[in-house]
Structure 1
């Protein structure tokens, strides 16, 4: 017992993300009626949740090692509805941020691009970016990323207030979404069985026309767990969603991709194959374009394929010192 106590003191407790993944595995097992594969398994994913210091590695092994000892791992066919329904259950278990109106949301993400399309010789690339956005939209924000001309340096770009005349919380801000999202989902629901209108939203109803891209943008940063779950449940009823069981996110992690094509592009939402946790998005440009120069300084512009994965979100009191 003394040895166990010493081990307990030396091993840190599991993170909220690890606990969420463990609960997700329990939910998956329960919804499958407790069925287990008849094939031998070297590892027990649920047991790994109790090993705080090695949970992340053990979880990855479970995904890669399931199946027979000498055969390839089987991927069970799943529908978009099933993936999104389970993703909603997982989202509700995530820890919730409760930022104050005067704070900023700090969002650190990784963006990967390539192969080139507009510029065929453009190499694949990847970079980490940071953003600070006002919780209620009352203050300008900041974007930090490698400089366009000198990638070794970091450049700061102000994020301006789009409409200073709009009341606070301003449209598009975190607090505005928390207030308006349930009504927006209700407003969008009838559009799932009818073509969504094009053009500008009706007065007083920002984001009035639903589309796959709007939902992808909403879940790409941060929403409270209950609202993210509601969006996943809304998307679960969207017809004609393509499923790619060999998708990867910006970090190269394997996942299940759900996508729709619209306006010459494809937006794919990527979920973990094992836990159904949202990993990130992938945009693929399907529009034929003339061969020529890149019209912008953004490194991924014209690449034809861009993947984005959020690495960290937290609430902070102030903007960093400008560089």
Structure 2
């Protein structure tokens, strides 16, 4: 059986790709052909059959599996290999990566602080200058001391947490330690223990919020969160993405949520979150949301320190 017969027989019996998917695959094929022609020597002739088949197969895979993650093999940037994965698989691989990476931070004492430095960008949806911030925060480990937190460059002095104060997601390390790391238990918690499909969007939102703030995850909690969210239906993959440092990334989102997880394409390291936001403005006596933007947050540094102002 030759290669073309293999491609035609692949996934036979399933509905074919949509016209939108065909158009996208055709565009990728033409782009690959153009790149190959630019790099070929004069008189080298047409694009090789191997390259054409590889690109065509990528288009079919994207239509059937949801997306294609592009990685690079040992031959360098000019030798891409295409690997079909789903959004759920990316989250599971991110969970495996999180467990393997572990943490080199010591278990914090209650009287210490978590120092974090987060790089934030805001890109206006309708165009305009990009705004950036390097936000630093010192969060009390047990919440018994005042904390200092930056949001978009503005300094906030947070008072100690009250004895009966409930904050979600928790920032106190001991409360995070009490959270389950089992994916099914976490998913039930994110859904509010109702488990109804209507709560899937809320579950995705809760998982994003847990990983968004300036906090340290106890062992297994980040990985468990990724695995819990991988069980949700309708999550999708955005493979033309980049984090705020310009690294190529793959995004995982929910069509009804405004958050997107960003992961490194090669290692599946968690890079940060992108959100869709807007600013309130009073127009004709009514408050409306205007100036829509995309905001990306990437954690650049995290340390356990003894006092506010210390950087580790």
Q: Normalising by the residue count of structure 1, what TM-score does the alignment of the two structures yield?
A: 0.60
In structure 2, what is the equivalent of residue 127 of structure 1? 133
Is the aligned partner of 1:105 residue 2:105?
A: no
Distance in 2 (alpha carbons) for counterparts of 1:100 and 1:113: 35
Q: 1:72 to 1:302 in 2, by over 3 A?
A: farther
Distance in 2 (alpha carbons) for counterparts of 1:70 and 1:112: 28
Is the aligned partner of 1:196 residue 2:199?
A: yes
Please report how far the alpha carbon of residue 139 of structure 1 lies from its aligned counterpart in structure 2 after TM superposition. 1.6
In structure 2, what is the equivalent of residue 213 of structure 1? 205
Q: 1:69 to 1:227 in 2, by over 3 A?
A: closer
User: What's the CA shift string for 1:34-60, capped at 9, x where partnerless?
Assistant: xxxx99xxxxxxxxxxxxxxxxxxxxx
Distance in 1 (alpha carbons) for counterparts of 2:96 and 2:194: 24
1:89 is paired with a residue whose SS is helix
Contact 1:140–1:161, Cα closer than 8 Å, also in 2: yes
Q: Structure 2 residue aligned with 1:309, among 271, 295, 298?
A: 298
Q: 1:268 to 1:79 in 2, by over 3 A?
A: same
Q: Structure 1 residue aligned with 2:266, among 274, 295, 306?
A: 274
Task: For structure 2, list consecutive stretches of 5 or more residues without a partner in the other structure.
Answer: 1-49, 52-69, 284-289
Q: 1:74 to 1:126 in 2, by over 3 A?
A: farther
Aligned residues: 230
Contact 2:94–2:268, Cα closer than 8 Å, also in 1: yes
Q: 1:66 to 1:192 in 2, by over 3 A?
A: farther
Is the aligned partner of 1:78 residue 2:76?
A: no
2:304 is paired with a residue whose SS is strand
User: What's the CA shift string for 1:194-222, capped at 9, x where partnerless?
Assistant: 2229xxxxxxxxxxx95222211222343
1:304 is paired with a residue whose SS is strand
More strand by share: 2
Superposition map of 1:23-38 within 5 A: none
Task: For structure 1, list consecutive stretches of 5 or more residues without a partner in the other structure.
Answer: 1-37, 40-62, 148-154, 198-208, 293-300
2:222 is paired with a residue whose SS is helix
Contact 1:94–1:225, Cα closer than 8 Å, also in 2: no
Could you say what the CA RMSD is over the residues aligned between the two structures, in angstroms?
Answer: 3.8
Q: Structure 2 residue aligned with 1:140, among 134, 138, 146?
A: 146
Distance in 2 (alpha carbons) for counterparts of 1:67 and 1:94: 22
1:305 is paired with a residue whose SS is strand
Q: Normalising by the residue count of structure 2, what TM-score does the alignment of the two structures yield?
A: 0.62
In structure 2, what is the equivalent of residue 247 of structure 1? 241
Query: Larger relative CO (CA 8 A, sep 6+): 1 or 2?
Result: 1
Superposition map of 1:47-86 within 5 A: 66=73, 73-86=80-93
Contact 1:113–1:303, Cα closer than 8 Å, also in 2: no
Please report how far the alpha carbon of residue 176 of structure 1 lies from its aligned counterpart in structure 2 after TM superposition. 0.8
2:198 is paired with a residue whose SS is coil
